[in-house]
Amino acid sequence: MRPIIETEVVVIGGGVTGVGVLRDLTLRGIKAVLVEQRDFVHGTSSRNHGLLHSGARYAVRDEEAAIESYRENLILKKTVPGSVEATGGIFAKVPEDNDDYVAKWVKACAKVGIPTKEIPVAEAIKQEPYLNKQVQAVYHVPDGAVDPFTLAIDVAADAITRGAKVLTYSEVVAINKKGSAVSSVTVSNRYTGEKTDIHTNLVINAAGPWGSQVAALAEVPLKLINNKGMLTVMNHRINKQVINRLRMPGDADIFVPAHNVTIFGTTGRNVESPEDFSLDRHELEQMLKEGEALVPGVTEMRMIRAFTGSRPLYQDTDDSDSSGRNVTRGLALLDHSTRDGLDGFITITGGKLTTFRYMAEKTVDLVCEKLGVNVACTTHEEPVSHRDAKQFFKETDIAPAAKTKLFHWAGKNAKEIETSLNNETEDKIVVCECEQITWAEIKAAMPDGRFNLTDIRRRTRLGMGPCQGTFCNQRVAALAVEKGLATQEEADWALRDAVTNRVKGMGVVATGETSKQLQMMETIYKVSLGLNEEGKSNV
Amino acid sequence: MHELSFHETTFEKCLKCNACTVSCPISNTTLDFGGPKHLGPELKRMMDHQEVIDDSRIELCTLCGTCDTSCPENVHVSTLTSYAKAIHAKEKGTKFRDIVLSNAELVGKLASTFAPITNMTMKIKPVRKVMQMVLGIHADRQFPSYEFSNFKRRYNKKHATTERKVAYFTGCYATYNAPDVAGSFIKVMEYNGIDVAIPEQKCCGVPMFANGQMKQGLKNAQFNTNSLLEYTRQGYDIVMTCTSCTSAFKKEYASYLKTEEAKELARHIYDADEYLRILNEEGELNTNFATINAKVGYYAPCHMKGQGIGNPAMDILELIPGFEIQDMAAGCCGQCGTFGFKEEKYPYSLELGKTMATAVEELDADYTVTECGMCKNQLDQLTNKQVKHPMQILKSAYEKVPVNS
Ligand SMILES: Cc1cc2nc3c(=O)[nH]c(=O)nc-3n(C[C@H](O)[C@H](O)[C@H](O)COP(=O)(O)OP(=O)(O)OC[C@H]3O[C@@H](n4cnc5c(N)ncnc54)[C@H](O)[C@@H]3O)c2cc1C
Ligand code: SF4
Ligand code: SF4
Ligand code: SF4
């Protein structure tokens, strides 16, 4: 007999949408289990720009999206403060862009209530030294930067402390029905192949770009356009605030700061498979060329890596638009009971990172209606715990840079990390120098389950710096074996897996320094550790 | 933004290879130092457009520049560490002691006015104990002595009339502590038929950079650049006898000031021995040296090594008949400018100097030769051999030539 879990609601997908739904359900007292085929934010939720939209980008073309974004922007700054950097943002008009749009945009923002403020060009250039000196008008907006990794992990953790259950590395392989209603889902453990049945009457499909596939398991037709966008990570943080191009939204017109780096992009191309993470050098070059308008010289700047993610865009009709930009980016909440005659199945898709909370609210409102629960949503007020930890580490003797990182990062783990730093000399080892991560932090953030460097990376930023894990991955793997947290085989596997992933992202940007960095990494791993080409990821 | 945010992008090229850290004399002596990679490119990357990080361990960096020389990617590591020093000085305030030490010129002027007294007081233990307590200058540390008849009082020519014209940037050490070195240089030039002018000048700024006094250092750099350019534009070559000064004009000025002027000036800067070597190559050097029968050890200062000009002092001194000179290849002396004067750095300084002291002892030469006054200070403290500047030796090699030969 397979193990069986009983619950009221199953949420499929550990992206921001799924964890948002999970938390909202839990806050309203509904028992729920979230299942994710790999780790949190495996999908689009970690493959995006990290822009906490002020809504200004949408003001002209999509009033509703603009209003939603601005409202959520204000809410998230309050409720997930540890994952948001209220950087502010600017919209800058470059000479080649249309003058008329500026006036239209200013008016549209005013109409929907998004505050904009013109700043003198000289002042803007002083604030952002990399900005094109030829810009003709600059406006300040309340954009922000959001860290999708900590966001999803903290929202999920909050739900878990309130009683929710999460199964990672658990892929939904079947959605089972009794008559015209859902009765259970079957998940398969990605490492062991072991299957578990989860009995439930209500399943929420929050599988992002995998949404059609999941719907297919329930034999429900669902047409999603997966619109793949490319992003590139600059080697360091070149801007203090978000830099947007003041024109009708297009490709390659946003620079978003993210801790020590800047993420620049993006593009949009429709793809078939949600697993299509392929990287095209030509696309990258086009993007960089376009980016020169805002940041001259960006083509020559060092990049760490590039990555792609797909926007799941819901389309009611069948005529496809290859740029994907004209399909609605608003949220789509589908009740398959009314739409397709299948009870107990709901899809939530589309939308944005910025509006994930609102998407969850709408979804759970529908769930409540179905379950006859009469509890109002509180996620717009109830905060998740802050990451700030400035009151800790006063006596801790570690590098100031590592301390600065902890001040903004340690959050709930602060006490535990502080104790271990103050008592164990080894815990003070800075295992990842680029991002200043100590072993104490790694220990505290290590998720249960199989040792996996990529999972650790999502929780700590391990290996996210310029060296892309050349030194730190092996340090962590070695320490984990030494401390009995992983077997030799597990550590070996994890190293291969992590290195393969990083090499892919570096390859496409590998010119100049990054190609040397890549060579160094490959040499170190191939020669000194005996890892070779077979080191392919097999999860 | 922090007023010390500065535009320096070479850190972008850092490959994290650690070559700088393994070659840094301080990293090799103590684990208390964060190392050039971390305190240079890594910190800079983490601070750009973010909050400033003050790491007090930067005090241990001596700005010797070895990291720059060892970096395969041409990262201006010591420019970055000098800014980390400036940030530290700004955040934590500068110790009165460091202001005193960074102001070699002021101290020099004051001390040489009272030279005989200064030299006495510097040696008296109770006074030194007070200095240690008040100023944090280690009581056992020997000081270079100050001369009453400082070089400015001895020689003050503003223009040269010969065809080859040299403008001499004297530097604080030769001005206040070792006017004999400056005097010897003038003489050596005289023997080569070259007139020497002394341009208006201020301390090169090296001790200021090293003590986080970036602003004052930059002011001096700007002053010197303006003053010396007036000379180079009239066809003067700028020559110096202090390798730290030379290195500042050749490397640091350009990367700190980032001006075309600084770059232009850098092309006209020569170390005295380097200059003589050029004269020799062009067949203009007066090689009429008297024989000096001596076996000496040469100690190469870090700031000379960092210039990438080979070993000009040895190349020139080897021309003296009978003169046997051997490179001791002994790493960093550990005095490192003002570093070794500081109470809390004294133990590191002595530790750093050990290799050098052992090398001197093992070679057992007649005396030691080095260009750097600060290295000399450490050599004086740690060894019992006399220490001479190459110019002093050359001068006597010329002087000892019989008049009629
Ligand atoms: C290039 C790009 C840039 C973007 N930039 C921004 C931005 O700056 N600001 C903003 O607000 N929004 C942005 N977005 C949009 C935003 O990223 C997405 O709207 C959001 O992340 C979608 O999250 P999700 O949870 O719905 O989907 P996902 O994050 O993809 O989550 C779906 C999850 O379901 C899991 N899953 C799939 N199938 C199964 C299965 N069978 N069993 C179990 N689990 C399964 C997947 O592994 C995945 O983790 C951007 C999107 C893209 C593509
Ligand atoms: S300047 Fe010298 S002491 Fe300072 S970091 Fe570089 S090598 Fe080390
Ligand atoms: S030697 Fe140069 S490239 Fe290597 S770590 Fe140091 S600064 Fe970086
Ligand atoms: S004192 Fe001499 S050896 Fe020490 S750093 Fe200065 S030049 Fe180098």
CB distance B206 to ligand 2 below 6 Å: no
- Tokens representing A373 are 């629960």
Q: Tell how far the Cα of B5 is from the centroid of ligand 1, in angstroms.
A: 37
Collapsing DSSP to helix, strand or coil, A507 comes out as: helix
- Tokens representing B301 are 């200062």
Residue of A nearest to B43 (CA): A401
Residues of A with CB under 8 A from a CB of B: 127, 129, 235-240, 257, 259-260, 301-302, 399-401, 404, 433-434, 436, 465-467, 470-471, 513, 516-517, 520
Answer with the residue of higher pLDDT: B355 or A443: A443
CA distance B374 to A90: 52
What pLDDT score was predicted for residue A426?
Answer: 85
- Crossing angle of helices A488-507 and A512-523, in 10° steps, is 160
CB distance A252 to ligand 1 below 6 Å: no
- Tokens representing A281 are 């050098």
Is the CB of residue B91 less than 8 Å away from at least one CB of chain A? no
Residue of A nearest to B7 (CA): A129
For A448: left if phi > 0, alpha if psi spans -120 to 50, otherwise beta; the answer is: beta
Q: How many domains does chain B have?
A: 2
- Phi and psi at residue A333, in whole multiples of 5°? -110, 115
Compute the C-alpha angle A171/A176/A182, nearest 5°: 110
Whether B147 is covered by a domain: the verdict is: no
Mean pLDDT of all residues in A350-357: 96
Q: Determine whether the interchain pair A466/B37 forms a contact, defined as Cβ–Cβ distance below 8 Å.
A: no
Q: How many other C-beta atoms can be found within 10 angstroms of the C-beta atom of residue B6?
A: 17
Whether B34 is covered by a domain: the verdict is: yes
Is the CB of residue B12 less than 8 Å away from at least one CB of chain A? yes
Name which of A305, A293, A308 is nearest A255 in CA terms: A293
- Tokens representing B236 are 């003067």
Distances in whole angstroms, Cα of residue B185 to Cα of each of A351, B161, B167, B231, B379: 77, 17, 12, 19, 22
CA distance A444 to A419: 11
Q: Count of CB contacts below 8 A, A vs B? A: 68
- Tokens representing B336 are 């490192």
Beta-bridge partner residues of A118: A139
User: Which regions of chain B are under pLDDT 70?
Assistant: 1-6, 93-149, 153, 335-338, 340-341, 404-405
Whether B273 is covered by a domain: the verdict is: no
Chain B contacts of A470, Cβ < 8 Å? Answer: 16
Distances in whole angstroms, Cα of residue B91 to Cα of each of A331, B2, B97: 49, 11, 17
Element of type H or E holding B294 = strand B294-298
CA distance A156 to A455: 15
Chain B contacts of A257, Cβ < 8 Å? Answer: 49
- pLDDT of A386 > 50? The answer is yes
Split at pLDDT 50, 70, 90, the class of A534 is very low
**Which CATH number characterizes residue B54's domain?**
1.10.1060.10
CB distance B336 to ligand 4 below 6 Å: yes
* Chain CA centroid to CA A384, Å: 17
Distances in whole angstroms, Cα of residue B311 to Cα of each of A4, B244, B279, B318: 79, 15, 15, 11
| Mutation to test the A interface, candidates B9, B16, B75, most A Cβ within 10 Å | B16
Predicted-complex ipTM score = 0.89
Q: Tell how far the Cα of B36 is from the centroid of ligand 2, in angstroms.
A: 6
Split at pLDDT 50, 70, 90, the class of A79 is very high
CB distance B272 to ligand 4 below 6 Å: no
Mean pLDDT of all residues in A441-450: 89
Best mutation site among A45, A54, A186 for ligand 1 pocket (most ligand atoms within 8 Å of CB): A45
Q: Determine whether the interchain pair A399/B13 forms a contact, defined as Cβ–Cβ distance below 8 Å.
A: no
Indicate the length of chain B as a whole number.
405
Split at pLDDT 50, 70, 90, the class of A358 is very high
CA distance A490 to A463: 18
- The pLDDT tens digits for A198-227 are 999 999 999 999 999 999 999 999 999 999
Residue of B nearest to A130 (CA): B7
Q: Do A183 and A199 form a contact (C-beta atoms < 8 A)? A: yes
User: Which numbered ligand comes closest to the C-alpha of B71?
Assistant: 3
Chain A contacts of B53, Cβ < 8 Å? Answer: 400-401, 404
Best mutation site among A37, A44, A243, A275 for ligand 1 pocket (most ligand atoms within 8 Å of CB): A44
What pLDDT score was predicted for residue A321?
Answer: 44
Q: How many other C-beta atoms can be found within 10 angstroms of the C-beta atom of residue B222?
A: 18
- Crossing angle of helices A488-507 and A472-482, in 10° steps, is 170
Q: What is the mean pLDDT of chain A?
A: 91
Name which of A45, A70, A253, A92 is nearest A144 in CA terms: A70
What pLDDT score was predicted for residue A186?
Answer: 98
Q: Determine whether the interchain pair A237/B16 forms a contact, defined as Cβ–Cβ distance below 8 Å.
A: no
Q: Tell how far the Cα of B161 is from the centroid of ligand 2, in angstroms.
A: 42
- The pLDDT tens digits for B245-295 are 999 999 889 888 889 999 999 999 999 999 999 999 999 999 999 999 999
Name which of B318, B310, B167 is nearest B241 in CA terms: B167
Q: Do A472 and A463 form a contact (C-beta atoms < 8 A)? A: yes
CA distance A516 to A513: 5
| Mutation to test the A interface, candidates B49, B50, B55, most A Cβ within 10 Å | B49
- Tokens representing A110 are 């005013």
Last residue of a domain, one of B92, B111, B144: B92
Q: Determine whether the interchain pair A401/B13 forms a contact, defined as Cβ–Cβ distance below 8 Å.
A: no
Q: Determine whether the interchain pair A399/B38 forms a contact, defined as Cβ–Cβ distance below 8 Å.
A: yes
Which of A250-254, A380-384, B184-188, B351-355 has the least mean pLDDT?
Answer: B351-355
Collapsing DSSP to helix, strand or coil, A415 comes out as: helix
pTM, two decimal places: 0.81
Helices (H), B114-268: 115-123, 125-135, 151-154, 171-172, 179-191, 206-210, 214-232, 243-247, 253-257, 260-266
CB distance B352 to ligand 4 below 6 Å: no
Strands A51-52 vs A84-85: parallel, antiparallel or unpaired:
unpaired
Q: Tell how far the Cα of A470 is from the centroid of ligand 3, in angstroms.
A: 14
What pLDDT score was predicted for residue B191?
Answer: 95
* Pick from B15, B42, B50: CB nearest A516: B15
Report the amino acid identity of residue B258. Answer: K
Q: Which residue has a Cα nearest atom 6 of ligand 3?
A: B20
Q: Tell how far the Cα of B365 is from the centroid of ligand 2, in angstroms.
A: 30
User: Which numbered ligand comes closest to the C-alpha of B42?
Assistant: 3
CA distance B223 to A240: 34
Q: Determine whether the interchain pair B45/A235 forms a contact, defined as Cβ–Cβ distance below 8 Å.
A: yes
Exposed / middle / buried, residue A383 (Cβ in 10 Å: 0-12, 13-18, 19+): middle
Is the CB of residue B50 less than 8 Å away from at least one CB of chain A? yes
- pLDDT of A80 > 90? The answer is yes
Please give the number of the atom of ligand 4 that sits closest to the Cα of B299. 3
Element of type H or E holding A51 = strand A51-52
User: Which numbered ligand comes closest to the C-alpha of B78?
Assistant: 2
Whether B355 is covered by a domain: the verdict is: yes
- pLDDT of A436 > 90? The answer is yes
Residues in B 21-40 with any Cβ partner in A closer than 8 A:
34, 37-38
Q: How many other C-beta atoms can be found within 10 angstroms of the C-beta atom of residue B191?
A: 17
Whether B338 is covered by a domain: the verdict is: yes
- pLDDT of A296 > 90? The answer is yes
Last residue of a domain, one of B75, B92, B109: B92
Exposed / middle / buried, residue B402 (Cβ in 10 Å: 0-12, 13-18, 19+): exposed
Q: Determine whether the interchain pair B46/A260 forms a contact, defined as Cβ–Cβ distance below 8 Å.
A: yes
Eight-state DSSP code of residue A383 = P
- Tokens representing A202 are 């209500």
- The pLDDT tens digits for A123-177 are 999 999 999 999 999 999 999 999 999 999 999 999 999 999 999 999 999 999 9
What pLDDT score was predicted for residue B132?
Answer: 58
CA distance A378 to A381: 6
- Crossing angle of helices A472-482 and A453-460, in 10° steps, is 110
- pLDDT of A327 > 80? The answer is no
Collapsing DSSP to helix, strand or coil, A309 comes out as: strand
What pLDDT score was predicted for residue B294?
Answer: 94
What is the span of the domain harbouring residue B24? 10-92
A45: closest CA of chain B, how far (Å): 25
Chain A contacts of B35, Cβ < 8 Å? Answer: none
- The pLDDT tens digits for A12-71 are 999 999 999 999 999 999 999 999 999 999 999 999 999 999 999 999 999 999 999 999
Last residue of a domain, one of B76, B92, B108: B92
CA dihedral sign of residues A398, A404, A406, A412 = positive
Indicate the length of chain A as a whole number.
539
CA distance A347 to A206: 6
Q: Which residue has a Cα nearest atom 5 of ligand 2?
A: B36
- pLDDT of A526 > 70? The answer is no
* Cis-peptide into A266, omega within 30 deg: yes
Whether B179 is covered by a domain: the verdict is: no
| Mutation to test the A interface, candidates B44, B46, B58, most A Cβ within 10 Å | B46
Beta-bridge partner residues of B367: B296
Q: Tell how far the Cα of B303 is from the centroid of ligand 4, in angstroms.
A: 6
CA distance A465 to A474: 15
Name which of A299, A241, A404, A236 is nearest B10 in CA terms: A236
Q: Which residue has a Cα nearest atom 1 of ligand 4?
A: B336
Collapsing DSSP to helix, strand or coil, A417 comes out as: helix
What pLDDT score was predicted for residue B6?
Answer: 65
Whether B228 is covered by a domain: the verdict is: no
- The pLDDT tens digits for A391-420 are 999 999 999 999 999 999 999 999 999 999
Whether B368 is covered by a domain: the verdict is: yes
Best mutation site among B142, B177, B240, B302 for ligand 4 pocket (most ligand atoms within 8 Å of CB): B302
Q: Tell how far the Cα of A18 is from the centroid of ligand 1, in angstroms.
A: 9
Portion of chain B with pLDDT greater than 70, in percent: 81
CA-based R_g, chain B, Å: 21
Q: Do B339 and B345 form a contact (C-beta atoms < 8 A)? A: yes
